[in-house]
Amino acid sequence: MLKCYEVYDKNLDYGQTIVWAETSNKAKLEGQKDDIFDWCEYIDLRTKRRPKWDKYADTKHIPIQELLDECWWFGCAICSKEGLDQSRIEDGEAFIYDEKAEYYKFVRGNLICADCKKKLDERIEKFGE
């Protein structure tokens, strides 16, 4: 049975990925394939079990709201502005744009910043898209 693991570099405060694997060591090997760990040594990788996300092993995509609830942040799917998190959503500075998009490798859904949402809304109003 596949289990969910968060894989991260012990030397960094950012840059993690989610993988599903049978063991922690297999999770590190799978996680090391992620572009964010191109420069990382296997010995520096750590894993954290995320059992509540085991249920997504079949799709390998976690709904973005669940990650936001765990204090994750993301970049805008349009302009890449960083630091979009639950507090920015609550303040009207970010919006969940498409809950079905496969954003990143393990996330179902994406966020856009307020500026991009405004431009998108204007485009939809103008062109009806």
pLDDT, tens digit, 9 for 90 and up, residues 58-115: 999 999 999 999 999 999 999 999 999 999 999 999 999 887 777 677 888 899 999 9
Which whole number is the average pLDDT over 9-37? 89
- The alpha helices in the chain, defined as continuous H runs, are 24-31, 64-69, 86-90, 114-127
Using DSSP's 3-state secondary structure scheme, residue 23 falls into coil
Please report how many Cα atoms fall inside a 13 Å half-sphere around the Cα of residue 95, on the Cβ side. Answer: 13
Quote the pLDDT of residue 90: 93
Quote the pLDDT of residue 23: 97
Q: Which of 46, 50, 59 is nearest to 3 (CA)?
A: 50
Quote the pLDDT of residue 129: 62
**Between residues 24 and 106, which one has the greater pLDDT?**
24
Q: Are 48 and 8 in contact (CB under 8 A)?
A: yes
pLDDT band at 40 (very low <50, low <70, confident <90, very high): confident
The 10s digit of each residue's pLDDT in 42-60 is 899 999 999 999 999 999 9
Tell me which residue has tokens 């954290």: 48
pLDDT of 14 above 80: no
pLDDT of 26 above 70: yes
Helices (H) and strands (E) counted in the chain, each on its own, are 4, 6
Quote the pLDDT of residue 125: 86
